[in-house]
């Protein structure tokens, strides 16, 4: 059964014939939904989840759900799929500039195991939530011969800076182990509203995810220690360093101890120093005023990551300079005397 066409007139621009794919080492351990997103290049994830729910995708002739993790030797039936012309336009027009040229120009480091880029603000790292193609889908499309390419971690869509991808499963597994054991040193720069005075401050909070009525995911600080409220909380920890003081603003550097969803944004907002430009947890009136002064995005940047190479064990110092638009805005602020 083919996927239903979205808009009229129907103008199919590409079709995938049914195929049986035998899983090898390159795809072992990958979730079936992510595997299909790589195999069915250009097909929106909503369509992929639809064919998974309908049972058109089979593994070893049996039905599976989206969370199934592939094993070596599994035989995956990939059904025929057709996408419409309007889908193609959606895929090609998610940003105002060609994704390929932007991403290829932001490579910080690459070898046979790793690909490190300086992700621009405005690019989602993966498709979903209204974004059909993110960084990972774009790079897979540009590199059709790549046997393996996976995100090591995530950055929020409006966060720029160092983003690590693995080109070998061994590198991915090793990096995940290093992150779990706090063997990587990730540094972020952010401009916050307010005059922060501590030269160094260690912040620990318990965070919990929740969902708004419209389906949007958010995070808050758990202050209620009762069991039913506290069971799902995750410990978060960051060390903040004061880098530069301004009238009404402060540039901070953050060293991540844990890497929870929206960790820096939620911690700082809870402390009363929201990141400027943050449209989820920030000061919305202040953000609107700052837009008129030239700040069009959230001032949060993954500036530096230090770690050992997961294969060679060489020291890596990965640096993404502060984007020009953030540097320009910061230069416009009045510095306070130290």
What are the φ and ψ backbone dihedral angles of 41, each rounded to 5 degrees? -60, 130
Residues annotated as part of the active site? 156
Q: Please give the Cα distance from 57 to 201 (Å, whole number).
A: 51
Phi and psi at 257, nearest 5°, equal -100, -40
How large is the C-alpha radius of gyration of the chain?
A: 22
| Contact (Cβ atoms closer than 8 angstroms) between residue 332 and residue 294 | yes
- 59 CA to centre of own chain: 28
89-123 burial, b at 16+ Cβ within 10 Å, e below that, comes to ebbeebeeeebeebbeebebeeeebbbbbbbbbbb
Q: Which of 123, 107, 117 is nearest to 152 (CA)?
A: 117
Strands 114-119 and 217-221: unpaired
Cα separation of 283 and 112, whole Å?
A: 44
């Amino acid at each position: 059964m083919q996927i239903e066409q979205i808009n009229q007139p129907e103008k199919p621009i590409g079709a995938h014939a049914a195929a049986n794919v035998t899983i090898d080492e390159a795809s072992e351990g990958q979730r079936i939904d992510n595997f299909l997103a790589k195999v069915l290049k250009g097909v929106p994830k909503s369509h992929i989840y639809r064919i998974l729910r309908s049972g058109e995708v089979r593994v070893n002739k049996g039905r599976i759900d989206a969370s199934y993790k592939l094993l070596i030797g599994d035989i995956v039936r990939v059904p025929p799929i057709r996408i419409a012309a309007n889908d193609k336009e959606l895929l090609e027009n998610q940003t105002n500039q060609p994704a390929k040229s932007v991403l290829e120009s932001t490579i910080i480091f690459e070898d046979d195991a790793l690909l490190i880029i300086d992700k621009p603000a405005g690019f989602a790292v993966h498709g979903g939530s209204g974004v059909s193609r993110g960084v990972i889908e774009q790079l897979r499309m540009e590199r059709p011969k790549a046997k393996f390419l996976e995100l090591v971690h995530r950055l929020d869509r409006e966060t720029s800076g160092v983003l690590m991808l693995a080109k070998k499963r061994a590198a991915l597994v090793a990096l995940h182990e290093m992150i779990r054991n706090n063997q990587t040193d990730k540094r972020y720069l952010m401009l916050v509203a307010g005059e922060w005075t501590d030269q160094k401050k260690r912040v620990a909070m318990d965070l919990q995810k929740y969902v708004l009525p419209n389906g949007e995911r958010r995070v808050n600080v758990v202050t209620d220690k009762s069991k039913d409220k506290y069971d799902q909380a995750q410990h978060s920890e960051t060390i903040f360093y004061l880098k530069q003081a301004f009238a009404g603003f402060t540039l901070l550097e953050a060293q991540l101890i844990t890497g929870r969803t929206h960790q820096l944004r939620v911690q700082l907002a809870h402390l009363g120093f929201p990141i400027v430009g943050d449209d989820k947890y920030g000061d919305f009136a202040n953000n609107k005023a700052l837009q008129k002064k030239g700040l069009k995005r959230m001032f949060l940047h993954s500036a530096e990551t230090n770690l050992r190479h997961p294969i060679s064990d060489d020291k890596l110092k990965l640096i993404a300079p502060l984007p020009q638009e953030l540097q320009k805005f910061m230069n416009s602020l009045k510095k306070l005397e130290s």
